[in-house]
C-alpha cells in the first residue's frame, strides 16, 4: 500500500501545483483553496507511505512525480516551452526515480 499512497501523494502534488498556477498568487479563492487542500492531501499520503518506505526513496519518488507531472502539465495546459533537451532531462528524472525504486529493496 505504501507505493500506492506515494502515487496518490505525487498526483495530488501535481494537482496542487496546477491549482497554484490558477490561484494567481492566492488572489483567486477557489484555486487557492484547491491548492491548499491538494497540498495537504499530498503531504498526508506521503506521510502514510513513510510508515513503510525509506524517507530518501519516498521523497525522491514523490518529488520526481511532482516535477515531471508539473513540467508536463505546464506544457499541455499552459503552453510552456517544449524542447528535445527538456524531454531528455525529464527522461533523466524518470530514469532516476525508476533506479531508486529498483535499488530500494521495497
Residue 105 has pLDDT above 80, yes or no: no
| pTM attached to this predicted model | 0.88
Q: How far apart are CA 35 and CA 31, in angstroms?
A: 6
pLDDT score recorded for residue 106: 65
Per-residue pLDDT reduced to its tens digit, 27-62: 999 999 999 999 999 999 999 999 999 999 999 999
Number of folded domains in the chain?
1
- Domain span at residue 96 reads 2-103
Amino acid at each position: 500500500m505504501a507505493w500506492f499512497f506515494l502515487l496518490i501523494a505525487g498526483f495530488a502534488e501535481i494537482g496542487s501545483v496546477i491549482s497554484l498556477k490558477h490561484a494567481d498568487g492566492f488572489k483567486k479563492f477557489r484555486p487557492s483553496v484547491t491548492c491548499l487542500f491538494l497540498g495537504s492531501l499530498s503531504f498526508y499520503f506521503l506521510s502514510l507511505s513513510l510508515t513503510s518506505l525509506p524517507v530518501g526513496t519516498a521523497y525522491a519518488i514523490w518529488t520526481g512525480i511532482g516535477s515531471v507531472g508539473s513540467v508536463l502539465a505546464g506544457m499541455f495546459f499552459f503552453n510552456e516551452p517544449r524542447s528535445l533537451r527538456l524531454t531528455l532531462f525529464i527522461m533523466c528524472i524518470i530514469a532516476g526515480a525508476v533506479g531508486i525504486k529498483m535499488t530500494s529493496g521495497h
